[in-house]
Amino acid sequence: MPPTSDHAQHQPLSRSIRIGLAQLNPLVGDLEGNGRQVLAAARQAAAAGVQVLVTPELALWGYPPRDLLLLPTMLRRQHQVLDALAQAVPENLRVLVGGVTPLGDGGDCPLHNSAALVGDGCWRMVAAKRLLPSYDVFDERRYFRPGRQPCLVEIPLAGRSLRLAVTICEDLWADPRLPLQPTYDCDPVAELAPLAPDVMVNLSASPFAVGKQTLRRELATAAAARLGCPVAYVNQVGGNDELVFDGHSFVVDPQGAVVLQLPSARPASHWVRLGLPPDRLPHGGPAAPSAGFPMAVASPQEELWRMLVLGLGDYARKCGFRSAVLGLSGGVDSALVACVAAAALGPRQLRGLLMPSAFSSPGSVADALALAQVLGMATTTAPITPLVDAFAQALRPALGQDPDGLTAENLQSRIRGALLMAMANQEGHLLLSTGNKSELAVGYCTLYGDMNGGLAVLGDLYKTDVYRLCRWLNGPTARQQRRGAGLPTQGALIPEVILSKPPSAELRPNQKDSDSLPEYAVLDPILKKLVEEHHTPDQLIAAGDDPALVQRIWSLLRRAEFKRRQAPPVLKVSGRAFGTGWRMPIATC
């Protein structure tokens, strides 16, 4: 933790509190390992003189633990971990640790999503989450019951007690200004105001989405103004399955100024000294920032890149994979996936398989090899034309003819998928799917073919997003990120020819994506309105979009649902991704 400023060092101890934020990257279900992370942060905090340390929501479990919460053995392990923490946490330090409270009354949803206060050789649950989200990727009412009372913890300090308000994640989000938020029956922040807290903390596990960091800051600033006190927001960091948590923990003072900002995309622990007046004042006390803060805000493309690299790296690491394989086609999607994987795992841990057919252009093969050379990754070439011919011969008695049309196209994709799966199985690689959100939306992908894989890295990026991120990655503003990931910093990372040629699956002569789909610049805005903004076709038509085009896209979107149910997990980076946050029926009118 960095030293505090000279101004903060000269504040009387009785008039201030050193509060620490531990932005952790837990492994879901690893209570003992996550407990060790908490203890390491606690020891670091104690050495810096921190008096209260705050960890993320469900820090001992990792978020989201899902049905692990239903296992009695896990609850017993949590109790043991908290007992061990209580004995090991240094003196004069209190730690707020995210966990669960078994209610033991035999009712439905027999748990609280809670915060435990650990210190002085003991622990106790002090807060229960009031607002339980059950929208998008969240399903907390399956497991938890809402807390009924606001939480104010009094922690003795030299000369006075700290009045600490404790909230958990969604408790901060009861704001009627937020679009598409549920209507809750209470406002946890409003109910804390009569209790006159000195500081409010929020233990959070808030997944990344573009633009969400600004919204969190606005909510915390509004809460600080309503309570007249500083607000400390502590977020989880890291990838857990399809969700990626960006961290970006912070502290704001009562006037909304950022007095501490933790980085994105990596674990970190820092602290700040907050002024506490002898008697509670309506507008709280001043806050002195730690040295080096606030940090610069990254561009949207840089933040998106970080999240993809973090999400892929953690997915592989936490699932036990050290290497990955993907099909390199010479197209833009596989090129971007290769760059993300090289940054996340290292180019030496990445294999590319080139599988040209009779319809593959010589340029596509050359483009794929050029990309691999720039990245320093190994490749193997396995032509599929002999396999296509052998499959056609085997199918001729059953079909009465050679496969043709869509059957022949999908057959090529499935042969490639089989080769990739064989390579993944034989060598223990994680197979990366290279499809994007546009393709998943309209079904422009092949089951048991290009949809094969353990993770869809770009499954929440529309095709136009893919191009935009590639252009940024090739530009000068990405050099620092490329250097930090061990990627070449000079020149274009993705050959310009890959970005300039028309997209094509190359499954028939002279094929282009635009033969089957509207141009992506036209398709993607309509898809975004339908998928992420909850618009209906009638609304789009009334707003001026072409009726025939809208109905065609809507029909493709609905008909492809059965494919999406069989897709690999998609790294979520938008407000609404295909996967757990998309729950549409397959059979519908």
Report in angstroms the alpha-carbon separations of 496 from 334, 420, 475, 501, 559.
14, 26, 12, 9, 35
- Could you tell me where the beta strands, DSSP code E, fall in 237-345? 237-240, 243-246, 250-252, 258-261, 268-275, 287-288, 324-327
Range 148-159 burial, b when 16+ CB lie within 10 A, else e: eebbbbebebee
Q: Are strands 152-157 and 160-168 parallel, antiparallel or unpaired?
A: antiparallel
Q: Using alpha carbons only, what angle is made at residue 485 by residues 479 and 487, rounded to the nearest 5 degrees?
A: 65
Token pair 């089951």 is at which residue? 447
DSSP, collapsed to helix, strand or coil, labels residue 552 as helix
Question: Which residue type occupies 520?
Answer: Y
Contacts 24+ apart (CB under 8 A), 535-538: none
- The radius of gyration of the chain from alpha carbons, rounded to an integer in Å, stands at 26
CA nearest to 202, candidates 184, 186, 220 = 220
Annotated active-site residue in 140, 151, 169, 463: 169
CA nearest to 368, candidates 426, 425, 327 = 327
CA–CA separation, 55 vs 53, rounded Å?
Answer: 7
CA nearest to 258, candidates 233, 228, 284, 241 = 233
Annotated active-site residue in 57, 409, 439, 506: 57
* Helix and strand totals (H; E) in the chain: 18, 20
Is residue 62 within 8 Å of 29, Cβ to Cβ? yes
Q: What residues form DSSP beta bridges with 164?
A: 153, 199
Specify whether 57 is catalytic. Answer: yes
Which one-letter DSSP state was computed for residue 422?
A: H
Q: Are strands 378-381 and 350-354 parallel, antiparallel or unpaired?
A: parallel
Specify whether 169 is catalytic. Answer: yes
Is residue 387 within 8 Å of 417, Cβ to Cβ? no
3-state SS, one letter per residue, for 200-268: EEEEECCECCCCHHHHHHHHHHHHHHHHCCCEEEEECEEEECCEEEEECCEEECCCCCEEEECCECCCE
- Sign of the dihedral defined by the CA atoms of residues 65, 69, 74, 77, in that order: positive
Range 418-450 burial, b when 16+ CB lie within 10 A, else e: ebbbebbeeeebbbbbbbbbbbbbbbbbbbebb
Catalytic residues: 57, 129, 169
